[in-house]
Amino acid sequence: MRRSLLALLPLVAVAACGDTPRENAAPEPEEGDCGAYVVTNAYEEDGTPDRSDKQQCLLDAFANGDRVRLDVQLDTEEGDPLYYRYTVVGPRLVGVRTDTTHDAFGPRAVVTERCTGLTVVDGYLTAEGCTAQ
């Protein structure tokens, strides 16, 4: 019985951590912050009123090579959160961390890519020229 309880301890510690990327990782000291926003319905233009300002912050940093990050939560049709962290790491180079571990119906994984293109299409950030890290 004691071994069972000890085996559960790491799971309890993980469960106590925050659920969102913003809660799980503080920015690096030299890293700027474009903020975060939540998109609750993929079929509608929604989210925080300053969503386009935050996207523009990231696009400007991407063009200039300023190290900043932006966190985005996009909910699935079933309401499960998908988390995206965009981190500009150099001129025209962005890291994209996609966390689908809370998606009950999709693959549960964390994928990190480096991308050479970044645009906004129909109100959504779109990374291009990506390679897995």
Where in the chain are the domains? 32-132
**For residue 66, what are the contacts with CB-CB under 8 A and spacing of at least 6?**
32, 60, 88
Task: State how far the Cα of 107 lies from the Cα of 121, in Å rounded to an integer.
Answer: 25
For the beta sheet containing 32-39, the strands, ordered from the edge strand earlier in sequence to the opposite edge, are 32-39, 68-75, 81-90, 93-99, 110-121, 124-132
Alpha helices in the chain (DSSP H): 2-16, 21-24, 51-64
Predicted structure pTM score = 0.76
pLDDT band at 39 (very low <50, low <70, confident <90, very high): confident
- Alpha carbon of residue 25 to chain centroid: 11
pLDDT at 13 over 80: no
pLDDT of residue 9: 34
110, 22, 124, 108: which is closest to 74 by C-alpha? 124
Each residue of 57-69: pLDDT tens digit?
999 999 999 999 9
Predicted local confidence at residue 2, as pLDDT: 41
pLDDT of 92-104, one tens digit each?
A: 999 999 999 999 9
Q: Record the tokens describing residue 81, joined without a space.
A: 């959160």
